[in-house]
A and B are shown apart, each in its own frame.
Chain A
């Protein structure tokens, strides 16, 4: 008895809540012109985007054209393109010391080296991994999960794990000492720290790209390989003439996504090395962060200008990716 009353009350309450938008929606349908009702639905989301995405972009453009260290926009003097000019002022672009903003150019060259090495190695590793995981090997399911697992970790967690391994009294050195070797300062020498940032970011992201390539491999019909077997094609030739061309759309996706993410590298490295030793592992985003938010003199204008330059590079890469995706879509269709 009490049960039925309770369930009836719950039903009424549910109905009342669900009917709550009834009146305003009827009003909106009656008063808004045809085809405009959609704005009502995307409105809330659009407002959030406006405040947290579009507005900051506009603010960024404004700050890039102003100088000084004051955070209030009204207190900032307009300097036009001066920030860009100072970032780009250089006697020899290959020699950061000859530039006005030497740290910016160190960061750029570090990033270029990092991107080239990280993307090339990651593409190679994920391709090999995908090819192996595409075969009928024992424990294939386990290995697929194992390679994907780091992708699920937060970048900070990834960095902390590897810091724990690589620091002076870390796991790796403990193993070295256990084996009778001298401990190595992995993160305190410029070359080794750079190498480890490349390695750690590959370790963290490779699973994602392996997955894309694996999906690409599995989309290649088995009978094409049988036709190649009938055509007496040796394995290497099958890979070069059949697998690789048919996998190319997926490789392109991996290449461009990998490039974009490599250019944006920040969190893992920031936690792992803090950009050091010196500026050996200071990449572009970290330079922007340091310039705007962590240095003693906070040069918001300079950071904003640098971030716009970075955005330009990412825009170009994204356009290439979109074009590649479109080509992929049309060739499949």
Chain B
């Protein structure tokens, strides 16, 4: 049997509810077998985008292609996709087995085939003991697995996940994250995963689509987004704790941070006097002064995690990540150094300024 093409392409997709446009011309491609994560703050349109892909929401303008075929007018059931809902949306009156079998029965599949597929999925998801139970008799993690099982048995071209882990507790979430990545490796099917949690995006994705207010901000590999964010929003959204930002202006080829000093960067800077901002990740700031790019701040608070520590400075408002444990205490003045290569520079519109070619 030849594998079904599970590639996806969105072209200038627009969604309007009445007069309100919530998705403004989104375009990107997903290759067959890729694990793509849509990430963005709540209200950025990522769930709407997902619902348009699976057919629960109509596409106002633009084109959605699955396996090269335009599916705008194809009903959800005939797109060959499976969706795992945030709320799981299990049928409460059906047993686990019936929940998984329902979609196959609708396709008119023979009983023996249904039994084989449900049995296989149940084995894969360790649900065999629970097949006769109702969803109410299951824990949150088990219900989540039933919802995934219901998707698996249909052998879809693309799996769609709508914030599937947000109803689980923190420990279970880490476990399910690994299970989903493992599932993707075994099935090799295209997966599209929506989340507002950038840690989930970074840890699971082959490719991340960062969305804000109905627009794609950046598409790329997780580390690409981390290392080379294309604008201030992506820079702030990816990475935890978030990037530190400081406002300044260009003076004589360096950046003056009013009241703090000057820093040199590798960015190609605009003409003198232009207001710009710089960003630097907490883990890239060094404690102690070096030859240049030195600042001094007063410690406002310290979070000791054992293996590493976060030091919050006041004036400038900066968080520093220090490996290991620290003896810094609130009130102490501490010298810090910004390595020139770790500084991101953004123009007044928040776009990243390119680096100088060496």
User: Residues on A close to B: CB < 8 A?
Assistant: 221, 223-224, 226-234, 237, 241-242, 245-246, 331
Known contacts A230-B103, A237-B106; is-contact A242 B78 (Cβ 8 Å):
no
B89 touches A223 (CB 8 A): yes
* Partner among B83, B91, B103 whose Cβ is within 8 Å of the Cβ of A242: B91
A224 touches B91 (CB 8 A): yes
B residues 64-84 touching A (CB-CB < 8 Å): 75-78, 81-83
Most buried by B among A227, A233, A234: A227
B residues in contact with A229, CB < 8 Å: 55-56, 75-77
B54 contacts the other chain (CB 8 A)? yes
B175 shortest CB reach to chain A, Å: 24
Nearest-CB residue, chain B, relative to A232? B77
Other CB < 8 Å A-B pairs besides A221-B89, A227-B83, A233-B106, 10 of them?
A221-B87, A224-B91, A226-B56, A227-B89, A229-B55, A229-B56, A231-B150, A232-B78, A241-B102, A245-B93
How many B residues have CB within 8 A of the partner chain? 24
A residues in contact with B82, CB < 8 Å: 230
Return the 8 tightest CB-CB contacts between A and B, nearest first.
A232-B77, A231-B103, A223-B89, A227-B89, A245-B93, A232-B106, A233-B106, A229-B76
Q: List 30 A-B contacts (CB under 8 A).
A: A221-B89, A223-B85, A224-B92, A226-B56, A226-B76, A227-B85, A227-B89, A227-B90, A228-B91, A228-B102, A229-B55, A229-B56, A229-B76, A229-B77, A230-B76, A231-B77, A231-B106, A231-B150, A232-B77, A232-B78, A232-B103, A232-B106, A232-B107, A233-B102, A233-B106, A234-B106, A237-B106, A241-B102, A245-B93, A331-B136
B residues 102-121 touching A (CB-CB < 8 Å): 102-103, 106-107
A residues in contact with B90, CB < 8 Å: 227
User: Residues on B close to A: CB < 8 A?
Assistant: 54-56, 75-78, 81-83, 85, 87, 89-93, 102-103, 106-107, 136, 150, 154
B106 touches A227 (CB 8 A): no
A residues in contact with B102, CB < 8 Å: 228, 231, 233, 241
A78 shortest CB reach to chain B, Å: 55
B263 shortest CB reach to chain A, Å: 51
A136 shortest CB reach to chain B, Å: 14
CA A241 to CA B82, docked complex, whole Å: 20
A residues in contact with B77, CB < 8 Å: 229-233
B101 shortest CB reach to chain A, Å: 10
B residues in contact with A237, CB < 8 Å: 106
* Partner among A227, A232, A331 whose Cβ is within 8 Å of the Cβ of B91: A227
CA A234 to CA B76, docked complex, whole Å: 12
CA A221 to CA B91, docked complex, whole Å: 10
CA A101 to CA B83, docked complex, whole Å: 67
Nearest-CB residue, chain A, relative to B56? A226
A226 touches B85 (CB 8 A): yes
Nearest-CB residue, chain B, relative to A246? B93
A residues in contact with B81, CB < 8 Å: 230
A230 touches B54 (CB 8 A): yes
